[in-house]
Amino acid sequence: MFKKILIANRGEIACRVISTAKKMGIATVAVYSEADKDALHVEMADEKVYIGPAPSKESYLLIDKIIAACKQTGAEAVHPGYGFLSEKEEFARRVEEEGIRFIGPKHYSIGKMGDKIESKKLAHAAGVSTIPGYNEAIAGPDEAVEIAKKIGYPVMIKASAGGGGKGLRVAWNDKEAHEGFSSCVSEARNSFADDRVFIEKFVEKPRHIEIQILGDAHGNYVYLNERECSIQRRHQKVIEEAPSPFIDPATRKAMGEQAVALARAVNYESAGTVEFVVGADKRFYFLEMNTRLQVEHPVTEFITGLDIVEQMIRVAAGEKLAFSQKDVKIDGWAIECRINAEDPFRGFLPSTGRITKFFTPEASDYVRVDTGVYDGGEISMYYDSMIAKLITHGPTRDVALGRMRDALNSFVIRGISSNIPFQAALMKHPRFQAGDFDTGFIAREYPSGFDASMVPHDDPALLISVAAFVHRCYQDRAAKVSGQLAGHERKVGHEWVVIRNGERHPVVAKPILGGYEVGYRGQVFRILSGWRLGQSLFNGTCNGEPFTVQVERDRLTYQIHHWGTRADMMVMSARAAELLAMMPEKAPPDLSRFLLSPMPGLLREIAVAEGTEVKQGEKLVVIEAMKMENILRAEHDCKVKKISAKVGDSLAVDEVILEFE
């Protein structure tokens, strides 16, 4: 077994690999860029090596620097994690040539399966069902349009070296095919240094289901059942689960055997994933093979009891798999939510900056959090938006879902926005709960995006009662402050008005042993809690039923977060509420003449000039953030008066880019 390994990655996956290595008694080496000098994976590792500036192409994507770090520290093996160099044939080959073990498949397997065009040909030859399409590299956008017409819309335009939703577009017409090809080429070149693109038929209402496989150097192969990955937004997975609520044992066996046949055909040694698109009739087609560890591997670990990272390390060290197919089990159900630094209420735009509060749900036998960030850490614009993975397990899917809802309530992130409210809404969606979904679920259920009105709370009285409880705590503390003028001490009454969305809710809040009793609309809510002023997590019981909400105080407003709902409420006396209703509303400034940056990011392109007449829908600028390109278009016909930024600028949220006449 290795004595020391280097992790050629960052973030939560680097932390994940370090945890298993420590469990196995293996020393670890972290590499880091300028942006990651204070990162958690650097803190966790036994040694660390600086490899360059923040942009990944100047640090984490430089093969020579990774190999030099191995030699400098005496690391015997490299784990690439996922993303970056994990599926680069050249990296695996160079590592092998230097006498360092690659904790992953051999370079020739990566070469055969990592290229999505060649992998389809190999899959077809191995007897694996494949989707109709054009599997040769395409010269330009005009040719892409002609090919798309022949295949028939809709089509999927995909970077050959792509992954993680990068370099992928679905086109429904000639215009989308032309623009989608150009965007895919650009994203692929920036993310993978390989701009080849191919096109295939897009199967409507498909499910994305993948098979986890393991192979060793001794010809042994197993499949670790399937993962359901159909809940996606912009072709990036949002929720994964294992097993799939759609797959029956016969289909599972057929898919698993095909996945193993493909792995055997390329002498695959390590963990890998064969992805399939599955139709409503349960017919499945090969999509691609990911020759690396998958983000969603923890759900498979929960239901099989295996540590997949450990298996990768053991296989790389030359060991045989210690189990066979008949030993692989399905124990209960596991669900994973990807917690991303993005604002679901602003079109899921990236959110970067300093994390001011970060409290994860308590880990247990059925709750797991994989993360690479910490309280006070910074989310950089240079890397992926995923900051954590929340995984729950239960004997049934319903139990696992319930535990996920509770865990999301307990996950506190402040300073940046996260997609937790959206995840919580998905967990309560009736069709998701019923397992009735496909890859178009989010686009179909949320066609206009996501907003707070889509997270109605089924117990608003609880939120109002908690606001009253919290306000009484602050008032009672104020009444106990020493030094008050005799005869003029603050007296706290029991009658209050909770104001939410302009509506007034009279309540009565009286102290009782261990909490407060809140009267509201003829009902009594006995809330008991040990909550203390300033705490973000509020754990308690309401009439004996346990609950967890999150509480923040912003001047006169209390923000209550629960099940994805954020309720902003003020609590005051009846007289104060009357006077507040008479206060004039301050009109917001008119910003319609400006194009403001909706996110922090890098200004990649300005498609107009001063004096340009633009039509509604025309491209104005391109902003890159967290490895994704975002095109801002004109909302109406207008004329550009002034350009206030230049290509290459790092933009802040709401920074002016253009001014219109």
Separation CA 184–CA 80 (nearest Å): 24
DSSP string, 358-386: EEPPPP-SSEEEEES--TT-EE-TTS-SE
What is d(CA 545, CA 528) in angstroms, rounded to the nearest whole number?
A: 10
- The first and second tokens of residue 594, run together, are 């400006």
Tokens of 619: 């491209």
Who's near 331: CB < 8 A, 6+ residues apart? Answer: 302, 303, 304, 305
Nearest CA to 360 out of 333, 381, 337, 393 is that of 337
- Give the Å distances, CA to CA, from 154 to 145, 173, 195, 231: 12, 7, 22, 20
* DSSP letters spanning 576-587: HHHHHHTSPPPP
Rounded to 10 deg, the angle between the 420-428 and 397-409 helix axes is 150
Helical axes 308-316 vs 11-23, angle rounded to 10°: 70
Please report the DSSP string for 298-351 in residue order: HHHHHHH---HHHHHHHHHTTPPPS--GGG----SEEEEEEEESEEGGGTTEE-
Listed residue (288, 317, 34) closest to 158, CA to CA: 288
In the structure encoding, which two tokens stand for residue 581, read together?
């209703």
Question: Which structure tokens are listed for 433?
Answer: 């709960």
Q: Which helix (H) or strand (E) holds 52?
A: strand 47-52
Q: Which residue has the tokens 């022949």?
A: 150
DSSP string, 440-496: THHHHH-TT---GGGS--S-HHHHHHHHHHHHHHHHHHHHT-TTPPTT------SEE
**Contact criterion met (CB below 8 Å) for 497 and 572:** yes
Residue closest to 235 by CA, chosen among 334, 162, 343, 148:
162
* Phi, psi of 604, deg, nearest 5: -85, -35
Residues whose CB is less than 8 angstroms from the CB of residue 483 and which lie 6 or more positions away in sequence, other chains included = none
Distances (CA, A) of 264 to 110, 161, 180, 268, 541: 13, 22, 35, 6, 55
Q: If you search the block for the tokens 């900056």, which residue do you land on?
A: 353
Q: Tell me the residue ranges of DSSP E strands in 100-244.
A: 101-102, 133-134, 155-163, 166-171, 197-201, 207-215, 221-233, 236-242
CB 601 within 8 A of CB 624: yes
Residue 295 CB-density burial (10 A; 0-12 exposed, 13-18 middle, 19+ buried): buried
Query: Closest Cα to residue 301, out of 351, 202, 368, 205?
Result: 368
C-alpha 19: how far from chain center: 21
Place of tokens 């036994």: 46
Q: State the catalytic residues.
A: 288
* Residue position matching structure tokens 């247990």: 364
86/62 Cα distance (integer angstroms): 12
